[in-house]
Amino acid sequence: MQFPPTPVRSTLHSPWGPMTLAAHDTALVWVGFDGQKHEVDTHAWRLDPGHPVLRQTAEQLQQYFAGERHDFDMALDLSCGTPFQQRVWRALLAIGHGQTCSYGAVSLALGQASAVRAVGGAVGRNPISIIVPCHRVLGAKGSLTGYAGGLERKIALLELESRP
C-alpha cells in the first residue's frame, strides 16, 4: 500500500483492543486494530491525536461502539490501494449497517462475477476497518470467514450492529 508521505496518527481504545487511526491533511487513510493481519507500520508517522480528522474519527467510532451511530461522515482517502482494491472498498461502503453480503455478491456488484478470490484479497487489505465495513462480508451461504482483525472481532462487530 502506498500512503501519502506525511500522515499523522493517533491511538483509540476500542472495546476489542487498541486501534491506530491515521490521516493526512484532509482525510482518513488508515483505521486498524493493533496486531491485525496486513497491519501497516505507522510508527514513523507523527503522533497527533488533536488532528481534526483523527478527532472526528475517534468521536464517531466511540459513538458507533456505544450503539449511538450507524453511519460515518468523515472524508476517506482510499488511494493507497490498486484501482481494483479501491473499487472493492468503495463497493463495501454500500453495505448498510446491520446488513451483510457475500464476496460473490461484491464480485457481481463490480461486474466481475469470477473475481471472488480477488475481491476476498482486497477486502482483507481494507485500510479503513469498520468505517469501510469489510466485517459485513461473509462467505458463501453466510459462513463467517476471515477478518484481518480476527474472527472474534468480526463476530463482535456483527453482534453490535444486530442490536436494535
Domains and CATH numbers, the chain: 8-65 (3.30.160.70), 83-162 (1.10.10.10)
Give the predicted TM-score (pTM) of the model. 0.94
Mean pLDDT of the chain: 95
User: What tens digit of pLDDT does each residue of 13-43 get?
Assistant: 999 999 999 999 999 999 999 999 999 999 8
User: What tens digit of pLDDT does each residue of 95-133 get?
Assistant: 999 999 999 999 999 999 999 999 999 999 999 999 999
Helix/strand number for the chain, H first, E second? 5, 6
Q: Does pLDDT of 164 surpass 90?
A: no
Distance CA 26, CA 127 (A): 16
Annotation says 101 is catalytic:
no
Distances, alpha carbon 44 to alpha carbons 2, 9, 94, 139, in Å: 14, 9, 33, 36
- List 20's β-bridge partners, or say none: 11, 32
How big is the CA angle at 31 (ends 163 and 17), to the nearest 5 degrees?
65
- Of residues 12, 88, 132, 134, which has the active-site annotation? 134
Hey, what's the cell of 153?
472481532
